[in-house]
Amino acid sequence: MFTGMSDIVVEVDETLNAAQQATLTVQLMAHEELPLALFDEQNPHILDIEYDPTITDSQQALAMVTNQGVHAHIIGGIFASESVVGNLDFCPVE
């Protein structure tokens, strides 16, 4: 059984203050399929989201972000490969 997690890197268009960032990450992590969501301390527009690919996919994870009222898009990710467990490939989105 595949148990790996995947990550997407999301750019949030709005500039959120620390309280807004905290609220957004708590709301995202309330979903079972998103166990981790963290903003980059050096770049407050960058949000790293870990998700369970056996429950959801990157587009659904992105929708969970935009459903919170912010504009965002995927700029990259690390996707766990089901065929080679343990191999992670960084995939920038062009």
Query: pLDDT tier at 85 (50, 70, 90 boundaries)?
Result: very low
- Do the Cβ atoms of 73 and 62 come closer than 8 Å? yes
Res 86: pLDDT = 42
Rounded to two decimals, the pTM is 0.79
Summarised one tens digit per residue, pLDDT across range 56-84 is: 999 999 999 999 999 999 999 876 554 33
Summarised one tens digit per residue, pLDDT across range 3-48 is: 588 999 999 999 999 999 999 999 999 999 999 999 999 999 999 9
- Which CATH fold topology does 6-90 show? Alpha-Beta Plaits (3.30.70)
Mean pLDDT of the region 87-91:
45
For residue 57, the Cα-to-chain-centroid distance in whole angstroms is 10
Strands across the sheet containing 88-90? 36-39, 46-51, 6-12, 72-80, 88-90
Any idea where the domains of the chain sit in the sequence? Answer: 6-90
The distance in angstroms from the start CA to the end CA of the chain is 32
Residue 60: C-alpha distances to residues 41, 52, 53, 63, 88 (Å): 25, 11, 10, 5, 20
